[in-house]
């Protein structure tokens, strides 16, 4: 298994632990991830609110770089990168007018031939849950988690083609394999407030606060995510939520890759579990799922 | 041969774009044309008289009318020339309106085209042959498919005119959907109270035969002479012996969810769907019956004092002839499990309107108590969601189901009547209450019964703390709202029956992309189909409430009776025939015929001195569509009115 790896800006900065844990898990499972050299912006928010064409040309440029690596499959972890790359492919495959314009900008023909996958998809559908079960050495038994998918992973469904739109279950399936207990909860695809984090923080405090409340009410000890922005809103804003709504949730927000890493027996530090605002280590210690080394 | 050409102005419809005088003059010079004229409205009385007078004066024997489409006025002019003594099939229409003046702007070019079209018609008519209509008898009996309120009303109307009607109903009892309803809007009379007398009328009528627990297996023939095979499914109970005492189902040990009660109640393995069932004869559900599963039990047979139980009964296929068919197969409910935002139909305390009807019914499974299916507790806050499936091009139906606004209002009213402390919330897109006293009814529910109407869609429903949290938008106040509901009632849309396409194919009637049967004309022939002798009533054509269903049932009955009262039926002679000497027996025509009007035949080939297979047209079934002539490689098939010689004559004239 060999893939061109597109980390995107978050995984090189605020979501460093997502990057670390992904690479660790991939290494442990023998999935080769080769970072696309000289990759550029995926075309997310700053681009697509500026200009539609720019939001297509940027991801296409990245996909062309992947093609040069003789790789016809790109793997990404960030939900926004995943969305932009998938949407760009969709337009290149189905819209002649946009394809011509984009080809003129990037200076090369491109018909959407480089396949884009989310790392979740690779783990579950390529590596396979059955194979993964055999590799789990450190079961996360008794850890109750709420799997939170956010908005971009499943939408728009005809483009992402990843999971059920209203009731996604891929992460829940994955958690079961690790012997963690995914709770049944209704907020899997609620809005976390997304990029209002910087411009209208109040909105994020309300929306992310509601998500934390629901997870708490349904008995989750941690929330599992697959998107850097979801992670940052839910993790980073807990202090402000506590101040505004007088609710101290103290719920760790973890990437699915970190929990997979733990179950494979990888050291917490290598998975970046020390990089969170809400420290997950006390919970993981209490649940006896930390690896002693 | 003396051909007359008559060019119509159609007011300015034709004359506005085409120089009709020039067309008339040009036509007068075509070969064999003895007379030509133009007139403002050729179809009017003076116009027709002009044709008749010219026929007599100039001794014309063939006529070309250059005017509109033959589908509009060919019949008019056939009658006209017939009155003047010419065989009605010795005319041709040149369509210089729909095919010319209406679609062109350039006067010069349009006039040229009109002249050419007229020239073709003149050359074609020169090859026409006089034809005679054929006559067939009419079987004086009407088949009604479906025994809901639609079929029941049709049967009553047919029987009232002293003609025999046969109802074929696949359920064990007639009554259909209406038998499940509690009250009816907007007058709130009880559905059973107004339906049951009609069911009894039907069962007691000497003119009505009922085949319940039966299905249509095959339909052949044509208007006046349909042959229908009906499968009478094995009821396992002798309908002639059974007295309807009910001892069998009282003692039957097997309980399964009742279809009639939408799974809210139970029935036995031997059962009648509801107490007022007609016929009041039970049926054994062989899939669940212990005797059929294990060969043990047999209690019903032991207990039946008249020996009506017959475990060995087999399906019986009967064949009957009918003059007309009324299709009254009704509707199905939209399956709301496609809506992930509503929980894919997995929430226990989410029901459909039809469930609510059973629940609110005092003889229903809950004795009229409105309760939560999950824990049996009585409800307080109930959210009704309209347009579930309807008006949703993304996941549901493109159309409005027409009755949901009204039945939801009725449900909101009944909820308050049954439970004074309850509160109804209704999410809607628009209120469509177009019917007599309908708008007033909705107002009453809002004003006097305190139903809270919220204009907006529901975005998510989830369970929390034993309640269903309904989250939606109230677009009038612009607010996002959340209601903690005890029960959610979905106004699911009306859809065609699952097997509607296969029935339509059996009957050779068209159906639309929603599998609803298509009427012959949306305005002027709403209960007819393009297959003559087959009529539509009720929700199988489009969603309809009870008044509209009853009205269309009576309308379809009148159409069927219109056939019944005729002595014989004239059939157009414009049908295909096979020249069997030329036929190679490839039978491509058999596959091309959408009406099963071609059959295999065998002839003695004198040259080859052996028998060989050829095609043969079943004249009574042929509609004259021409498919067979087009596929015939040997040009062995000819269609009267459009013979190969006629077409070639036209082509050569071009």
Q: What is the C-alpha to C-alpha distance for residues B366 and B357, in angstroms, rounded to an integer?
A: 11
Partner residues linked to A222 by β-bridges? A145
CB-based burial of residue B46 (10 Å sphere; 0-12 exposed, 13-18 middle, 19+ buried)? Answer: exposed
Please count the other Cβ atoms lying within 10 Å of the Cβ belonging to residue B619: 14
Nearest to B228 by CA among B508, B603, B586: B508
pLDDT grade, residue B113 (50/70/90)? Answer: very high
Domains A2-118 and A129-286 share a fold: no
CA distance A184 to chain B (A): 10
Partner residues linked to A147 by β-bridges? A224
Nearest to A253 by CA among A230, A271, A219: A230
CB-CB neighbors (< 8 A) of A164 in chain B: 340
Q: Is the pLDDT of residue A45 over 90?
A: no
Cα angle for residues A84, A87, A91 (degrees, 5° grid): 135
CB within 8 Å: B469 and A186: yes
Nearest to B290 by CA among B278, B280, B302, B281: B302
CB within 8 Å: A166 and B462: no
Among A164, A214, A217, whose Cβ lies nearest the Cβ of B340? A164
Cα angle for residues B578, B584, B589 (degrees, 5° grid): 55
Q: Is the pLDDT of residue A293 over 80?
A: no
List the single residue in B with minimal CA-CA distance to A215: B464
Among B341, B463, B469, whose Cβ lies nearest the Cβ of A166? B341
Please report the pLDDT score of residue A42 as a whole number: 96
| pLDDT tens sequence across B237-280 | 999 999 999 999 999 999 999 999 999 999 999 999 999 999 99
Q: Is the pLDDT of residue B517 over 90?
A: yes
Q: What is the C-alpha to C-alpha distance for residues B570 and B572, in angstroms, rounded to an integer?
A: 7
Among B340, B343, B469, whose Cβ lies nearest the Cβ of A165? B340
- Compute the mean pLDDT over every residue in chain B, rounded to the nearest whole number: 96
CB within 8 Å: A217 and B344: no
List the single residue in B with minimal CA-CA distance to A184: B463
Please count the other Cβ atoms lying within 10 Å of the Cβ belonging to residue B612: 14
CB-CB neighbors (< 8 A) of B464 in chain A: 186, 214, 217
What percentage of chain B carries pLDDT values higher than 70? 100
Q: What are phi and psi of A68, to 5 degrees?
A: -60, -25
Q: Which residues of B touch A (CB under 8 A)?
A: 339-341, 343-344, 460, 462-464, 469
Q: Do B133 and B570 touch, CB atoms closer than 8 A?
A: yes
Among A167, A214, A217, whose Cβ lies nearest the Cβ of B340? A167
ipTM of the complex, rounded to two decimals: 0.84
**What is the mean pLDDT of the segment spanning B97-123?**
97
Hey, of B464, B466, B468, B488, which one would you mutate to test binding to chain A, going by the most A CBs within 10 A of its CB? B464
- CB contacts < 8 A (A, B): 17
DSSP three-state, residue B530: coil
Q: Is the pLDDT of residue B439 over 60?
A: yes
Q: Do A215 and A184 touch, CB atoms closer than 8 A?
A: no
**What is the mean pLDDT of the segment spanning B175-186?**
97
pLDDT grade, residue B528 (50/70/90)? Answer: very high
- Give the tokens for residue B38: 């133009």
CB-CB neighbors (< 8 A) of A166 in chain B: 339-341, 344, 460
Cα B518 versus chain centre, distance: 6
DSSP class of residue B101 equals: I
Q: What is the C-alpha to C-alpha distance for residues B537 and B535, in angstroms, rounded to an integer?
A: 7
- Give the tokens for residue B333: 């409910």
β-strand B479-485 against B331-333: which pairing, if any? Answer: unpaired
Please report the pLDDT score of residue B640 as a whole number: 95
Please report the pLDDT score of residue B654 as a whole number: 86
Instruction: Tell me how long chain A is.
Output: 293
Q: Is the pLDDT of residue B436 over 70?
A: yes
CA distance A171 to chain B (A): 18
Among B339, B344, B460, whose Cβ lies nearest the Cβ of A186? B460
Partner residues linked to B385 by β-bridges? B427, B490
Q: Which domains does chain B have, with CATH numbers?
A: 3-125 (3.40.50), 134-233+315-330+497-570 (3.50.50.60), 235-312 (3.30.70), 333-495 (3.50.50.60), 576-653 (3.30.70.20)
**What is the mean pLDDT of the segment spanning B3-20?**
96
Nearest to B527 by CA among B561, B503, B494, B493: B561
Hey, of A167, A184, A215, A219, which one would you mutate to test binding to chain B, going by the most B CBs within 10 A of its CB? A167
Instruction: Tell me how long chain B is.
Output: 654
| pLDDT tens sequence across B546-557 | 999 999 999 999
pLDDT grade, residue B67 (50/70/90)? Answer: very high
CB within 8 Å: B344 and A166: yes
Region of residue A27 (phi > 0: left; psi between -120 and 50: alpha; otherwise: beta): alpha
Q: Do B498 and B540 touch, CB atoms closer than 8 A?
A: no
**First CA to last CA distance, chain A:** 29
pLDDT grade, residue B619 (50/70/90)? Answer: confident
Q: Which residues of A touch B (CB under 8 A)?
A: 164-167, 186, 214, 217
Q: What is the C-alpha to C-alpha distance for residues B442 and B437, in angstroms, rounded to an integer?
A: 9
**What is the mean pLDDT of the segment spanning B517-523?**
94
Q: Is the pLDDT of residue B607 over 90?
A: no
Q: Is the pLDDT of residue B75 over 80?
A: yes
Partner residues linked to B468 by β-bridges? B463, B485
**What is the mean pLDDT of the segment spanning B23-32?**
96
- Give the tokens for residue B157: 């109307």
CB-CB neighbors (< 8 A) of B350 in chain A: none
List the single residue in A with minimal CA-CA distance to B468: A186
- Compute the mean pLDDT over every residue in chain A, rounded to the nearest whole number: 95
Query: In the CATH hierarchy, which fold is given to the domain comprising A129-286?
Result: Rossmann fold (3.40.50)
The region of weakest confidence among B473-477, B537-541, B570-574 is B570-574
Domain boundaries defined on chain A: 2-118, 129-286
| pLDDT tens sequence across B281-318 | 999 999 999 999 999 999 999 999 999 999 999 999 99
Please report the pLDDT score of residue A71 as a whole number: 74
**Tokens 């699952």 sit on residue:** B498
| pLDDT tens sequence across B204-242 | 999 999 999 999 999 988 899 999 999 999 999 999 999
Hey, of B340, B344, B347, B350, which one would you mutate to test binding to chain A, going by the most A CBs within 10 A of its CB? B340
CB-CB neighbors (< 8 A) of B466 in chain A: none
Partner residues linked to B331 by β-bridges? B496
Please report the pLDDT score of residue B580 as a whole number: 94
Q: What is the C-alpha to C-alpha distance for residues B67 and B14, in angstroms, rounded to an integer?
A: 8
Q: Do A281 and A274 touch, CB atoms closer than 8 A?
A: yes
CB within 8 Å: A186 and B462: yes
pLDDT grade, residue A288 (50/70/90)? Answer: confident
DSSP class of residue B7 equals: E
Architecture in CATH for domain A2-118:
Up-down Bundle (1.20)
């Amino acid at each position: 298994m060999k893939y061109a790896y597109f980390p995107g800006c978050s995984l090189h900065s605020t979501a460093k632990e997502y990057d670390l844990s992904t690479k660790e898990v991939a290494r442990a499972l023998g999935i080769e991830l080769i970072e696309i050299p000289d990759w550029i912006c995926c075309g997310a928010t700053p681009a697509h609110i500026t200009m539609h064409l720019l939001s297509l040309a940027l991801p296409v440029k990245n996909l062309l770089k992947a093609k040069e690596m003789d790789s016809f499959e790109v793997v990404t972890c960030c939900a926004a990168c995943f969305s932009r790359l998938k949407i760009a492919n969709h337009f290149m495959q189905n819209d002649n007018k946009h394809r011509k314009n984009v080809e003129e900008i990037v200076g090369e023909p491109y018909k959407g031939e480089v396949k884009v996958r989310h790392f979740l998809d690779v783990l579950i559908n390529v590596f396979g849950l059955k194979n993964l079960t055999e590799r789990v050495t450190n079961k996360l038994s008794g850890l109750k988690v709420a799997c939170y998918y956010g908005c971009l992973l499943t939408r728009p469904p005809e483009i992402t083609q990843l999971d059920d739109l209203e009731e996604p279950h891929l992460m829940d399936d994955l958690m079961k394999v690790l012997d963690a207990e995914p709770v049944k909860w209704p907020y899997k695809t609620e809005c976390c407030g997304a990029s209002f984090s910087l411009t209208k923080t109040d909105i994020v405090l309300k929306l992310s606060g509601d998500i934390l409340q629901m997870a708490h009410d349904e008995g989750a000890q941690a929330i599992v995510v697959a998107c850097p922005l979801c992670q940052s809103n839910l993790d980073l804003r807990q202090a402000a939520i506590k101040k505004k709504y007088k609710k101290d949730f103290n719920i760790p927000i973890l990437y699915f890759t970190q929990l997979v890493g733990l179950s494979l027996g990888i050291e917490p530090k290598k998975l970046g579990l020390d990089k969170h605002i809400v420290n997950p280590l006390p919970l993981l210690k209490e649940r006896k799922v930390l690896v002693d080394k | 041969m003396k051909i007359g050409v008559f060019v119509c102005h159609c007011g300015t419809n034709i004359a506005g774009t085409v120089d009709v005088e020039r067309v008339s003059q040009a036509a007068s010079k075509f070969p064999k044309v003895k007379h030509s004229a133009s007139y403002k409205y050729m179809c009017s009385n003076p116009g027709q008289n002009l044709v008749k007078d010219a026929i007599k004066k100039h001794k014309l024997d063939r006529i070309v009318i250059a005017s509109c489409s033959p589908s509009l006025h060919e019949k008019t002019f056939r009658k006209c020339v017939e009155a003047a003594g010419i065989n009605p099939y010795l005319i041709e229409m040149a369509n210089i309106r729909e095919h010319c003046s209406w679609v062109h702007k350039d006067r010069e070019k349009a006039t040229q085209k009109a002249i050419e079209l007229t020239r073709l018609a003149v050359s074609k008519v020169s090859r026409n042959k006089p034809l005679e209509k054929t006559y067939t008898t009419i079987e004086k009996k009407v088949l009604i498919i479906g025994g809901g309120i639609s079929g029941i009303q049709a049967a009553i109307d047919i029987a009232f005119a002293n003609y025999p009607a046969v109802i074929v109903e696949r359920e064990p009892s007639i009554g259909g959907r209406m038998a499940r309803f509690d009250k009816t809007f907007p007058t709130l009379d009880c559905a059973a109270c107004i339906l049951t007398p009609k069911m009894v009328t039907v069962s007691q009528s000497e003119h009505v035969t009922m085949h319940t627990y039966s299905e249509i297996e095959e339909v052949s023939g044509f208007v006046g002479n349909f042959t229908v095979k009906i499968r009478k499914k094995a009821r396992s109970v002798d309908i002639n012996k059974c007295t309807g005492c009910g001892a069998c189902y009282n003692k039957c040990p097997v309980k399964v969810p009742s279809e009639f009660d939408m799974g809210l109640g139970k029935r036995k393995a031997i059962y009648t769907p509801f107490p007022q069932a007609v016929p009041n004869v039970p049926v054994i559900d062989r899939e669940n019956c212990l005797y059929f599963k294990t060969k043990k039990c047999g209690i019903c047979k032991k207990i039946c004092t008249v020996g009506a139980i017959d475990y060995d009964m087999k399906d019986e296929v009967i064949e009957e002839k009918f003059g007309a068919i009324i299709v009254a197969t009704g509707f199905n409910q939209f399956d709301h499990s496609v809506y992930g935002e509503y929980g894919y139909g997995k929430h226990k305390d989410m029901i459909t309107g039809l469930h609510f009807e059973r629940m609110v019914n005092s003889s229903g499974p809950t004795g009229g108590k409105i309760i939560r299916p999950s824990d049996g507790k009585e409800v307080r806050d109930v959210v009704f969601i309209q347009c579930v499936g309807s008006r949703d091009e993304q996941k549901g139906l493109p159309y409005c189901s027409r009755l949901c606004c009204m039945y939801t209002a009725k449900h909101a009213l009944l909820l308050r009547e049954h439970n004074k402390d309850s509160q109804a919330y209704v999410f809607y897109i628009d209120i469509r209450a177009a019917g007599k006293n309908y708008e007033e009814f909705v107002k009453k529910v809002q004003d006097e019964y305190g139903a809270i109407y919220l204009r907006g869609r529901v975005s998510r429903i989830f369970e929390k703390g034993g309640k269903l949290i309904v989250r939606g938008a109230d677009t009038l106040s612009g607010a996002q709202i959340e209601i903690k509901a005890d029960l959610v009632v979905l106004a699911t849309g009306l859809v065609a029956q699952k097997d509607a396409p296969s029935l339509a194919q059996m009957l050779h009637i068209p159906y639309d992309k929603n599998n609803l049967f298509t009427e012959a004309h949306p305005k002027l022939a709403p209960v007819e189909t393009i297959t003559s002798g087959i009529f539509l009533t009720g929700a199988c054509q489009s969603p309809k409430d009870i008044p509209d269903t009853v009205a269309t049932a009576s309308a379809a009955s009148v159409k069927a009776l219109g056939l019944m009262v005729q002595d014989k039926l004239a059939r157009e002679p414009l049908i295909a025939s096979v020249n069997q000497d030329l036929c190679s027996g490839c039978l491509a025509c058999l596959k091309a015929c959408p009406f099963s009007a071609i059959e295999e035949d065998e002839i003695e080939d004198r040259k080859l001195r052996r028998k060989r297979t050829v095609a043969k047209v079943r004249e009574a079934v042929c509609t004259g569509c021409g498919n067979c002539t087009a596929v015939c490689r040997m040009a062995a098939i000819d269609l009267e009115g459009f013979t190969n010689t006629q077409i070639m004559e036209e082509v050569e004239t071009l």
